[in-house]
Amino acid sequence: MEESSCCNSGKKEEIRESVRDAYAKIATKGGSCCGPSCCGTPAVQSPEELAKGIGYSANDLSSLPDGANMGLSCGNPTAIASIKPGEVVLDLGSGGGFDVFIAAQKVGASGKAIGVDMTPEMTAKARKNAELFKQRHGLANVEFRLGEIEHLPVADNSVDAIISNCVINLSPDKAQVWREMARVLKPGGRVAVSDLALLQPLPPIVRESVAALVGCVAGAVLVSDTEAMAKAAGLIDIRIESKTDYIDAMTQWNDSLYRTILDNLPAGKKLSDYVTSIDLHARKP
């Protein structure tokens, strides 16, 4: 796996700060982190249209506080996680709280939904949304913690299910993220992650672009490396579903980031030759 050794500590922190700064701008100013899109959000679609297109129901969306859906998704981990009443669910990179609020309704008053995000502005936005969520649903079962997903502010063996939506690809130390996931899961706990991954290595000019990193493309690693990191962390029953049709749709978006990426691909190649959207399931023994 090339990912775990690709960056020294200084480079990792530089990447982390670039991502943090970009998402702080989204939280405070709206829009996206790199031109008109971020993590696959097309300029021609609203956050609601994008969410419906990747599997969120109208009921899911209507139940959310205004502003919780920021259009930063590439899948629907709450749908694939089989969340049950009374469980503790952890969302990695929770942003404005989109998936946390959906999970909170599934676990009910006897459960808990926790979001972790490294951007103070995002955490503040999510906490404000939590007050609106409580008023609307009468549920006080959500919590947002400021922290890095490589060093989760969560106790060992305390979580039933972990979800994450187009976030792990942004981490400069993905192997550590998977180890942390295994640490905080209860025995038998499960993972349901939607993310972007590579089918083959990106051309260097794309891989080295900070804009492409924040857009969730340059930070992605091979599907096989993703599976290997989950396995090395001690997770089992790993299943990965690849969805290249989502990537093919990107080529139809009038978006400066993805147009730039396409322009730098070898002649005759398309983005889905390199990148795919995945749903990953795994569990802790």
pTM, 2 dp: 0.82
Distance CA(166)–CA(53), nearest Å, equals: 15
Q: Cα separation of 162 and 78, whole Å?
A: 9
Which CATH number do you get for residue 152? 3.40.50.150
- Pairing status of strand 112-117 against strand 236-243: unpaired
Please state the domain count of the chain.
1
What pLDDT is stored for residue 244 in this prediction?
Answer: 79
b/e map of 28-37 (b: 16 or more CB within 10 Å)? eeeebbbbbb
Laid out side by side, the sheet with 275-283 consists of: 142-146, 112-117, 88-92, 159-165, 185-198, 275-283, 236-243
**pLDDT-wise least confident of 29-38, 80-89, 204-213, 234-243:** 29-38
Q: What is the pLDDT, as a whole number, of residue 283?
A: 98
Beta pairing, strands 142-146 & 236-243: unpaired
The two three-digit tokens of residue 56, written as one number: 């969120």
**Highest mean pLDDT (candidates 26-30, 76-80, 191-195):** 191-195
Please check whether residue 76 lies inside any domain of the structure. yes
What mean pLDDT is reported for the chain? 81
Measured between alpha carbons, how far is 73 from 98 in angstroms, rounded to an integer? 9
Say if CB 22 and CB 202 are below 8 A apart.
no
pLDDT over 50 (residue 236): yes
Q: What is the pLDDT of residue 142?
A: 97
Kindly report, residue by residue over 266-275, the tens digit of the pLDDT.
888 888 888 8
Q: What percent of the chain has pLDDT over 90?
A: 47
Structure tokens at 50: 């994008």
Its domain, for residue 224, covers: 3-30+58-283
- Tell me, yes or no, whether 244 lies in a domain: yes
Angle between the N-to-C axes of helices 9-29 and 120-137, in degrees from 0 to 180, rounded to the nearest 10: 50
Higher pLDDT, 246 or 116: 116
Domain assignment of residue 49, yes or no: no
Residue 232 lies in a domain: yes
Distance CA 85, CA 105 (A): 9
Model pLDDT, residue 266: 87
Instruction: At 141, list the tokens.
Output: 């079962």
Kindly state the DSSP code that residue 222 receives in the 8-state scheme. Answer: B
CA–CA gap between residue 44 and residue 37 (Å, rounded): 10
The pLDDT assigned to 260 comes to 72
User: Is 230 inside any structural domain?
Assistant: yes
48: in domain? no
> Which one, of 70, 37, 73, 27, lies nearest residue 54 by Cα?
73
Instruction: Indicate whether 75 belongs to any domain.
Output: yes
Residue 33 has pLDDT above 50, yes or no: no
Question: Helices 223-232 and 174-184 sit at what angle, rounded to 10 degrees?
Answer: 40
Residue 112 falls within a domain, yes or no? Answer: yes
- The encoded tokens of residue 98 equal 């989109």
